Amino acid sequence: MKWFVYNCLFAVAYLAMLPSFLLRMKRRGGYRARMGDRFGRYPAEIAARFAAGARRPVWIHAVSVGEVQVAVQLMRAMRERDASVRFVFSTTSSTGWKTAENELARLAKDGLGGPDDVLVYNPLDFTGCVRRALDRIDPCAVILTETEIWPNFIRAVRRRGLPLYLVNARVSDRSAPRYRKLRWFFGEVLRCFTKIYAQSDLDARRLAEAGADPAAVAVTGSFKFDVARRNPAKEAELAAWIGEPANRCVLLGGSTWPGEDGVLLRVYAELVQTHPEATLVLAPRHFEKADAVEANIRAAGFACVRRSRGETPRGGTPREVFLCDTTGEMMGLFGISTVAFVGKSLCAHGSQNMIEPCLCGKPTVVGPHTENFRPVMSDLLAAEALVQAADEEGVKRALLAFFDDPRARAAQGGRATAAVRRRCGVVGRCADELLAALGGACA
């Protein structure tokens, strides 16, 4: 009965959200591409590739940019250990798709891509869509990342007797009470997993409270410490874009959300009074909001140099602010920054990835809302690897202090890099365990 109710509610919710999906198609362009994938119907060329290899594929699913990077690093580690393993990689959003394309291309460039690997969109969580997708892909195992709980998909995988894993699993502060309250629903779904690899002891406890089998939950630490990798070529390209002279200091707002660009513009207006060599680069999390960010830049009295338009600095008056509204360049931006602020932590909840600037050895400031990176933040704060501010005034003080004190910048950056490197290795250990557990299942 509860699954009948779930399917009815999911159908209603999907219809209610359909207008927003259509709007995304219009804004993002590529969102409508491969629409058939979402119904378990694939182009003939793609369907043929599912059956092309000698081995059944491992199906890995991820949604956001960060989750895609986690999943691809797991693919990399598994392929390094077993060159014959095949993969079908699925994602949900057009942004996730673009990131996956870039990451899979990098994997191939490193000699770790497989000719039979396939990228698809995940099916909608309707029984018929899920069944068609599983029939076509015929995986030997399924791996989901972080918080990808799709009940019909998960239960269908279980009914087929396939090994099912959840990696880098977490339960946010906001979701935990809802999971506990709906244990009667989520418990049955979570018990379908063969193994759950949780980021922290707290996540493991919350999963158990939501109904997961405690014996099936293992605490590994966060996969994201292994994901961040510097890209010297991209750093050089971005440095050339902003015309970086040797003495230039760069304040970066990375993955900012609405409201945070305004905070950084106010900080920058004060910063240039004492540091005229300083440059501000803003990289909004969602590039479709770039028009609003540009309007804020101009309202603050600055000119805007926009990356997506191929614009380059012209100098003169008014002073220019750089707007990077393109996909896949965040790590390069952190690499050329002098001081970094990580978005979705001051004017929104959850935070974006603060591991990346820390790996680059950059003094990093975040706001008070970092729920999505709770175990990571615990480790980094304990190592004094970053600064967490309580409000806008605290963010401003921390950023300005770093620009005033080069020694403090160097010390903070050194601690940050060391803290990240000490916590690497989780992905490799997980890959070893997964391959051992799968054994001949994918033969």
Count of CA atoms in the C-beta half-sphere (13 A) of 247:
3
> How does 296-321 read in b/e, with b if 16+ C-beta sit within 10 Å?
bbeebebbbbbbeeeeeeeeeeebbb
d(CA 178, CA 250): 42
- Residues 426-430: contacts with CB within 8 Å, 24+ apart? 426/220, 426/221, 426/222, 426/223, 426/225, 426/226, 427/70, 427/73, 427/74, 427/76, 427/77, 427/223, 427/226, 427/227, 428/77, 428/226, 429/220, 430/74, 430/77, 430/167, 430/197, 430/220, 430/223
d(CA 157, CA 194): 11
SS3 337: coil
d(CA 64, CA 184): 28
Residue entry with tokens 């974006």: 352
Residues 6 or more apart whose Cβ sits within 8 Å of residue 425? 226
Side chain identity at 379, as an amino acid letter? Answer: D
SS3 66: helix
Is 235 assigned a catalytic role?
Answer: no
In this structure, are residues 88 and 245 in contact, taking their beta carbons and an 8 Å threshold? no
Residues 6 or more apart whose Cβ sits within 8 Å of residue 95? 28, 64, 65, 327
Single out the catalytic residue among 45, 67, 80, 433. 67
The set of catalytic residues is 67
